[in-house]
Structure 1
């Protein structure tokens, strides 16, 4: 390979793709190729988790600061939902992932919502008050 994994990742990726297309298996950098394939799945899960947390922050702000509601809160929530739908469309095997991540992502969202609103963290429920179905429903918002 002309560009090594550690010296020029982009060149390594292009070269690896070429070697795969040409079925030159013996020349592949299998250790790094396996690592990168595994990281692809991690990246999708991280992106989904990040969007879930983002939606939760804005739903909490919507519910607990009704006097400060803005269209941007709706935009952030709706965009997060769209991004999750796109991830799930591309990777249907992640369909149950939001439910798996909900408790942990809610904990982080609760902390960030408290910081962003200036409200005490105790103001927000300890456990997520929303179901995954509600969180991902484009037409659902919590009441104040």
Structure 2
């Protein structure tokens, strides 16, 4: 029964499962799907961290590589992503153990995004991420155009 409902009406399934939990009717729970959904929920927070890092690093690259086009919009985007990352990590401190992994996983996408948005050749951008986690999340860090690797 639970499996069919899970596949056909996820919304109703979630309410049914939460009611069963509230009523402590553990023997009636769809445990396999609950485990899957809990893991997925945790992964969504990691995905949000990675997405915010991608946007942040892309804008830092643009700030550094295309410095003559700096704008308040870029500055705001950098600040918004830093604030969002800080809030996400405060609310989900367990993600802190995965920040280096997220930096690595977001780098190529961030680089590609910056290349596309600046319309500059690939060669203008470093092959490896030039920023550390500490720099990326530091509100005082603004990349110097003279130090591009």
Q: Would you say same fold, with TM above 0.5?
A: yes
Deviations 1:66-121 (A, max 9, x none): 11111111111111111111211111111132212222311111111111101111
Residue 38 of structure 1 aligns with which residue?
39
TM-score (norm 1): 0.93
Is the contact between residue 49 and residue 102 of structure 2 (CA under 8 Å) also seen in structure 1? no
Is the contact between residue 103 and residue 127 of structure 1 (CA under 8 Å) also seen in structure 2? no
Residue 104 of structure 1 aligns with which residue?
105
Residue 29 of structure 1 aligns with which residue?
30
Is the contact between residue 52 and residue 98 of structure 1 (CA under 8 Å) also seen in structure 2? no
Could you tell me how far apart the structure 2 residues matched to 1:133 and 1:82 are?
14
Question: Per chain length, whose mean CA-contact separation is higher, i.e. which structure has more relative contact order (CA < 8 Å, sep 6+)?
Answer: 2
State the aligned residue count: 144
Residue 124 of structure 1 aligns with which residue?
125
Q: Runs of 4+ in structure 1 displaced over 4 angstroms?
A: none
Is the contact between residue 115 and residue 122 of structure 2 (CA under 8 Å) also seen in structure 1? yes
Residue 67 of structure 1 aligns with which residue?
68
Asked if 1:8 is matched to 2:9, the reply is: yes
Unaligned runs of 5+ in 1: none
Higher helix share: 2
Residue 20 of structure 1 aligns with which residue?
21
Deviations 1:18-63 (A, max 9, x none): 1001000111111111110010111111000000010000000000
TM-score (norm 2): 0.91
Say which SS state the counterpart of residue 6 (structure 1) adopts. Answer: helix
Residue 81 of structure 1 aligns with which residue?
82
Is the contact between residue 88 and residue 95 of structure 1 (CA under 8 Å) also seen in structure 2? yes
Could you tell me how far apart the structure 2 residues matched to 1:64 and 1:138 are?
19
